[in-house]
Amino acid sequence: MSRISRRRFLRVAGVGMAASTLPSFASSETARRPFSADAAGSCLAISSANGIASVAVARALVLEKAMRPVSAAVRGVASVEADENDMSVGYGGLPNELGVVQLDSACMDGPTHNAGSVASIEDIMHPAQVAELVMDHTDHINLVGPGARQFALDYGFKAENLLTERARGIWLKWRAQRSGDDRLWPLLDTVPADPALAAEPRPWGTIHCSVLAPNADLGCCTTTSGLAFKIPGRIGDSPLIGCGLYCDNEVGSAGATGRGEAAILSGGSWLVVERMRAGDTPEEACLYALRRVAQQAERGARWQPALWKDGQPNFGLTFYALRKDGLYGSANMRGGGRFAIADEKGARLENCAIAFGQ
């Protein structure tokens, strides 16, 4: 699968140099390779498991339309944002504690090392596309709340109700069963009344998508309705660069789904990319970041005992990574997870490596 050798990758990424020698930040020879259809084997898209269609679309857009990777990722996730059955992203997403759907999204472009994001945006079905406009048409990175919504309207997006009857029904059940002040431990809140969510902790979701083009350019995006029943205005990791996503065109691209607070506190996606810069495979980098998260969670458990159980983190978190040479991988905290990948063999789900558990 590798299109450039590991030795060359390490050289490009500046690994193994004396501490006093800064790696070259000029575009690498690899990054300048001209676009060529017969290099399609090096065109990949990786995403969370809910993005099996998204990775196929993103890869096709790069190969057939020569679209830049970040735009292909943004367009790839659009069908999930519009899917009322995915209750963790966009339309149909579970609302905040007041019953309002608030979305978080960001994208990052490898070649320009630029990014855009919107957080707590309401009424806009495709926040990833708004994030892309923030990136391309402003010199800001983050827009939040009413400002983000107005920005989207200014660019022609229409305001629409994103709360489906099904999501509203689940929210009503949650509200009816809510007892006391649960704001301190929201991740352990359950929604037992809905069969689709029975036995789940408060439902997690999100889609991350990273894309590698045949010329070795990278881009990514992450989009979500965030933690269900969150406190209004709560921002997760998805719209925060370095947390829910990060890419460096010299090295690779990464993203996260799961407990956003843990991805924020660890700078998780940034850490994954930096580990790849240091020579880790994508899977090794994801596992390294999860172990770091676990160490931090164990310390944090003094304050939040619910985060730590049976000697391991009591929450879910998954990292996804794509290296510039075409290696990819994913790992999750507690097992059972899968991720979507599209390459020359097509789009499919593969198992995540596991940091803890069986």
Contact positions vs ligand ASP (CB under 6 A): 88, 104, 204-206, 224, 226-227, 236-238, 244, 257-258, 260
Our answer to whether residue 206 is catalytic in this structure is: yes
Nearer to ligand ASP, 237 or 284 (CB): 237
**3-state secondary structure (DSSP) of residue 318:** strand
Pure H helices in the chain: 6-13, 52-65, 69-76, 78-81, 127-137, 145-154, 165-177, 260-266, 268-277, 282-300
* Consecutive H or E run containing 349: strand 346-351
Report the distance separating Cα 234 and Cα 96, nearest Å: 9
DSSP string, 161-201: ----HHHHHHHHHHHHH--S--TTSGGG-B-TTSGGGTT-B
User: Which residue number, 163 or 317, has a Cβ lying nearer to ligand ASP?
Assistant: 317
Distance CA 315, CA 304 (A): 12
Residue number with CB closer to ligand ASP (112 or 304): 304
d(C-alpha 151, C-alpha 142), whole Å: 11
Q: How far is the C-alpha of 72 from the C-alpha of 69, rounded, in Å?
A: 5
Residue 127 — φ and ψ, nearest 5°? -65, -25
Report in angstroms how near the CB of residue 261 gets to ligand ASP at its nearest.
7
Nearer to ligand ASP, 81 or 104 (CB): 104
Q: How far apart are CA 255 and CA 96, in angstroms?
A: 23
Report DSSP state, residue 341: E
Exactly one of 30, 112, 138, 206 is catalytic; which is it? 206
CB of residue 185 to ligand ASP, shortest distance in Å = 15
State how far the Cα of 92 lies from the Cα of 162, in Å rounded to an integer: 6
Closer residue to ligand ASP in complex, CB, 163/187: 187
d(CA 203, CA 183): 15
C-beta of 207: minimal distance to ligand ASP in Å?
A: 9
DSSP 189-241: -B-TTSGGGTT-BS----EEEEEE-TTS-EEEEEEE--STTPPTT---STTSB
| C-alpha count within 13 angstroms, C-beta hemisphere, residue 191 | 25
Specify the residue for token string 């676009």.
Answer: 35
CB of 250 to ligand ASP, least distance (A): 26
Place of tokens 């083009």: 213
Shortest distance (Å) from residue 24 CB to ligand ASP = 34
CB of 47 to ligand ASP, least distance (A): 12
| CA-based nearest residue to 253, from 224, 278, 279, 274 | 274
Nearest CB to ligand ASP, comparing residues 69 and 260: 260
Minimum CB distance to ligand ASP smaller for 216 or for 228: 228
By residue count, the chain amounts to: 358
Residue 349 β-bridge partners? 340
Q: Could you tell me the smallest distance in angstroms from the CB atom of residue 245 to ligand ASP? A: 10
Please identify every residue annotated as catalytic: 206
